[in-house]
Structure formats: C-alpha cells, structure tokens
A and B are shown apart, each in its own frame.
Chain A
C-alpha cells in the first residue's frame, strides 16, 4: 500500500518530464522531417545508382570506370580547379566559368529581345498574328543548326556559341511573356481605364507585375535549355568550356573525366533551376 502510494508520484514526475522534453523536441523534428525525408530518398536513389554503376563497371571489366576510380579523378580535378597550363589545359573551374559566362551573355541578350517582343505579342493581337507563325516554325529547330550562321556572321567560334545560346533563350521567354501579358484580367485593365493610367503607368504598375511570374517561368525554361545547349555547342566550337572539357576528355580517353563532367553539368543545371524557382516564388502573388 505504502509502496504503491510512493511510486505513483514518481511515475507522474517521469511522465511529465518526458512530456516536457517531447514538447520542446517535437516542433523542431516536425520542421526537419520533410527535409530529412527527402534527403533520405536522395541518398537512397544515389545509393542504387552507385551500386548499378559499380556492377556495370565490374561486368564490363572496367571499360566503364567505376565509382572509386572516378572519385579519385574528381578529387584531382577539384583539388586545383584554377590551374592554367596554356590554351588546351585549364582547371575545371575555369572551364565552368567560361561556359557560365557564355550562357549568361547569350541568355541576357536573348531575354532582352524576348521580353519586349513577348510583351508586344501579348498586348497587341496584330503583332501576335504576325509573329506567332515565325515563333512556331523556329522554336522546334535545334539551336545547333544556327551554329554555321553564327560562324558566318561573327567569324569566331566563341561568338557563334554565344549566338546559339541567344537563339535558344528566345522562345520559352517569348511565349511565356506573351501568354502572361495576354491574360491580364479585364478587372485590372478597367482600373487603368477608369483612373486614366498613362501607358507607362499601365506597363509598370499592371502589365509587368501581372506578367512577371510568367516571364520568370519563361526565363527558367530558357536557361535550362541554354545550359543543355552550351555543352553541345562547345563540343562543336572547341576552345574552352565544360562542353569542350567533356569532348577533350573523350579524346584523351579519360572516361573518368567525362563522368565527372556530366556530374558537374548536372549539379550546375540543378543550381540554375533552383535559383529561378526561388525567383518565381519571390515574385508570385495571389489574390
């Protein structure tokens, strides 16, 4: 009887402390749970990929280099990424910076053309009818087909590469911008009419804010394709860049370097997509 009485408060104390600790830990855990979960899935997926890769390299008797050999080469590459031993032997970071530079230059120029024309197409049905067939014909053309024209015009492989990125960056931005502008609700237009907004005020306070999420979606799609195209473009143009690096590694018979190149291209592509997804979120609004 006495035992039971003394033991009861002890149990209560125990349960209350565990309750307190649960309250303080639970919210943090719950916040982290989704990201922990997705991290686990990512790791699991890569585990399977690595295992498959390892098995294939074993089966083919190292015709395809295995993960460990590749990792060693990868380490060599990123140990000294900025070395520069002349035009045909540069560090991986320099190659990457060269590619990114070309992509951003071509992408910026393309966007500077695509956004105004997209606005024009969205706002004016005459321009839309006039330009849309052209866009429809040119959009499905692989940007690489423009490479000879770039060469002919600019007489330089580097400029021709920027030119094909420029062409690549046009279409998605153009189409999404035109879509955004053409779907401005009548309510917003009526506000502009009723309060006598000037064209400039209409563009800056209604047209751009409304279309911005669409424009950014277009930019995100454009830069994804531009990053796809730069690799192929640099294989054609040679000289410098991550695409050239992959092709050069193949010529040097280093599949390890090729795989490292693929990995780096993938990671940078993911990063570019994430940046634009963040921008999309930042500039989205809802009623």
Chain B
C-alpha cells in the first residue's frame, strides 16, 4: 500500500492538560487514488493532513509512505493550504518559482524556469504572471497555490479545504481544473483532500472518509465511490449511486443538526408552557 496510517493519535499539550485531536486512525491509500476527508469543524481533518504532510509528529502510531515513516515535510508531498498561503511580496511567477527552486533537485535553473512557466500556463494565469497576490481574486490565488503544489511534481497532493473560500461557480471551475491536472499526469498522483462540502467530495473522490466529531475524533465510516470517470457534474447528479451516497453522507453528517433542532423545539415548548 502506498500510504499507510496505523493507529494514529495526535495530541497537543494545553494549559488545561492533554488535548487529543484524533485517535485510532487507520487508513490505507493506493497510489493515484483521490480520497476526501469530510466532517464537522474541529474533527481533526486538518490534523490528519498535517501528519501526512509531516508538519505534525504523531503522538502514537505511524504514518508511512512506500514503507518509509514520515519524518517531516518533503518535496514528495505538495501541500495546498487552507488560506492559499502565498507570499504577499512575491509575484505569481516568483511564488511558484521559489517553491520549485527550493523543492526540485537535479534540474538546472533554466529547467526550473520552464517548469514554472508550464504550470502558470496550465492554470491559465500566463497574463497575470507579474501580479502580486493582493491584486488577484480568491480563485486566482487558489490557482497559484495549486500550480505551486503541482509544479514541484510531488507523488502526493494534500489539499486542505482548498476551495472553501470560493464562490460556487469558481469552485466548480476549480474542481474541473484539478481533475484536468490529475488526468494530465496520467492519474498517477495521489490526492488527499479535506473538505466539508458533500457534493465536492462526491464529484472528486474515489473514497470518502467520514470523521466523527472532535475532540478525540476518529474515522466513522469510509464510503467507496464507483462513479465512472471522467465525471460530469450534470450527469452524475442523476445517477442512482450519487443519490445513495449523498443521502448516506447527509445522514452521517446531519444527525447532529437534527438533534439540535429537537432541543430547540423542546425549549420553545417549555417557554410557552
């Protein structure tokens, strides 16, 4: 198995004592798979991502890639951060080039420049290459962040709520761009994505990992998807499998909300009485 997470637990020391973000996480991911992690806020989705990315060290358990334990961040994993994390004083070109120059080994400077240009073109930002992040919309910034992660040619892409801040239309475009890039690389790249958008997870993923609520969150259920690729948003919504999975995810994620509503009605009755 390409990526193996075994009995992972991550805790943080706080003034009030140990805070366990996630525990008992067991997950295996094949090469080239697209896996989404979905759950409510604070369920440790990002924590798992950061453990895979090497930004956090496991308290217990192991994360291995190709049998090698993850010891820190590395150029084999490209990360797209939740808030784009572009450097505000660098242009589109420089933001990508600096990452390529730092992460890609055994290439000349000219080759690295070529790589940078190629990925700027791939995300359609050639005419904006000299712009600073503050001169661009959220969607454009997100494209730069994605281009930067792809440009270092990682085996795995870690996307932490990559489209969370985008409007619905831009989001739809970005989904297609992501799959296009994935196809261009012969679907060889493994993609792990954190999201709280059910439709997004279904449209993009091969498997969806549903988390329980935090703290001390763990995996509640893993949904396998067999929707044919390439997928088309309009077509898949009418497929029976789409509806079944969507209902299942909704019931897994929304039961909490229903309980809250019941509480609300009870409270109202008491007041009236």
Question: Are the CB atoms of B102 and A198 closer together than 8 Å?
Answer: yes
Contacts of A191 in B (CB 8 A): 81, 85, 87, 99
Q: Which of A167-219 contact B (CB under 8 A)?
A: 187-188, 190-191, 193-198, 201, 205-206, 209-210
The answer to whether A201 touches B88 (Cβ under 8 A) is no
A24 on the B face (CB < 8 A):
no
Which one of A188, A197, A201, A209 contacts B85 once the chains associate, using CB atoms below 8 Å? A188
Contact yes or no, A285 B83, CB < 8 A: no
Assign chain B's interface to a size class.
20 to 34
Asked if B83 contacts A187 (CB within 8 A), the reply is yes
In angstroms, Cα B98 to Cα A241, docked, is: 48
Complex contact B74–A196 (CB within 8 A): yes
| Interfacial chain A residues near B72, Cβ < 8 Å | 193
B134 x A286 contact (CB < 8 A): yes
> What chain B residues lie within 8 Å of A21 (beta carbons)?
none
Interface centre among B88, B132, B152 (most CB of A within 10 A): B88
Contact between B102 and A188 (Cβ–Cβ < 8 Å)? no
Q: Does B32 belong to the interface (CB within 8 Å)?
A: no
Closest chain B residue to A210, Cβ basis: B89
Quick one: closest A residue to B83, CB to CB? A187
Contact A196 B134 (CB under 8 A): no
Known contacts A194-B55, A195-B152: does B81 contact A201 (CB below 8 Å)?
no
Q: Does B103 contact A (CB under 8 A)?
A: yes
B73 CB-CB contact with A under 8 Å: yes
Tell whether, in the assembled complex, residue B89 and residue A197 are in contact, meaning their CB atoms are under 8 Å apart. Answer: no
At the interface, yes or no: A3 with Cβ under 8 Å from chain B?
Answer: no
| Residue contact B87 to A188, C-beta cutoff 8 Å | yes
Contact of A206 among B53, B81, B87 (CB under 8 A): B87
**Are A193 and B55 in contact (CB-based, < 8 A)?**
yes
Task: Determine if B81 and A196 form an interchain contact, defined as CB atoms under 8 angstroms apart.
Answer: no
Does chain B have a CB within 8 A of A14?
A: no
Are A195 and B87 in touch, CB under 8 angstroms? no
Tell me the nearest residue of chain B to A208, going by C-beta. Answer: B89
Q: Could you tell me which residues of chain B, from 82 to 97, have a CB within 8 Å of some CB in chain A?
A: 83, 85, 87-90
Interface pair A196/B102, CB less than 8 Å apart = yes
Name the residue among B72, B77, B98 with the largest chain A CB count within 10 angstroms: B98
For B78, what are the chain A residues with a Cβ–Cβ distance below 8 Å? 194
Contacts of B98 in A (CB 8 A): 195, 197, 201, 205
In the complex, what residues of A have CB within 8 A of residue B102's CB?
195-198, 201
Q: Which of A135-177 contact B (CB under 8 A)?
A: none
Q: Are A209 and B87 in contact (CB under 8 A)?
A: yes
Given A187-B83, A286-B134, decide whether A195 and B99 contact each other with a Cβ distance below 8 A. Answer: yes
A194 B79 Cβ-Cβ under 8 A: yes
**Contact yes or no, A190 B103, CB < 8 A:** no
B44 within 8 A of partner (CB): no
CB of B124 closer than 8 Å to a CB of A: no
Nearest-Cβ distance from residue A277 to partner chain B, whole angstroms: 20
The answer on a CB contact under 8 Å between B89 and A209 is yes
CA distance A285 to B133 in the complex (A): 10
CB–CB B133/A287 < 8 A = yes
Docked complex Cα distance between A191 and B87 (Å): 8
Q: A201-B98, A205-B98, A287-B134 are in contact. Are A196 and B103 (CB under 8 A)?
A: yes
With A and B bound together, what is the CA distance between A197 and B99 in angstroms? 8
Shortest beta-carbon distance, B43 to chain A, in Å?
21
Q: List the A side residues contacting B75 at CB < 8 Å.
A: 195-196
Residues of A within 8 A of B88 (CB): 285-287
Pick the residue among A190, A205, A285, A286 that contacts B55 (CB under 8 A): A190
Residues of chain A with a CB closer than 8 A to B53's CB: 194
Judging by beta carbons under 8 Å apart, are B87 and A205 in contact?
yes
Contacts of B134 in A (CB 8 A): 285-287
From residue B81, how far is it (CB to closest CB) to chain A in Å?
A: 6
Complex CA gap A195/B81 in Å reads 12
Task: List chain B residues, Cβ under 8 A from A209.
Answer: 87, 89-90
Q: How far is the CB of A38 from chain B (nearest CB, A)?
A: 29
How many angstroms between the C-alpha atoms of A196 and B104 in the bound complex? 9
- Supply 21 A–B pairs (Cβ within 8 Å), ascending by A: A187-B81, A187-B85, A191-B81, A191-B87, A194-B53, A194-B77, A195-B75, A195-B98, A195-B102, A195-B152, A196-B73, A196-B75, A201-B102, A205-B87, A205-B90, A209-B89, A210-B89, A285-B132, A286-B134, A287-B88, A287-B134
Instruction: Knowing that A194-B79, A209-B90 touch, tell me 11 more A-B residue pairs with CB under 8 angstroms.
Output: A190-B55, A193-B72, A194-B77, A194-B81, A195-B102, A195-B148, A196-B103, A198-B102, A206-B87, A209-B87, A287-B134
Closest 5 CB pairs of A and B: A209-B89, A195-B99, A194-B79, A187-B85, A195-B103
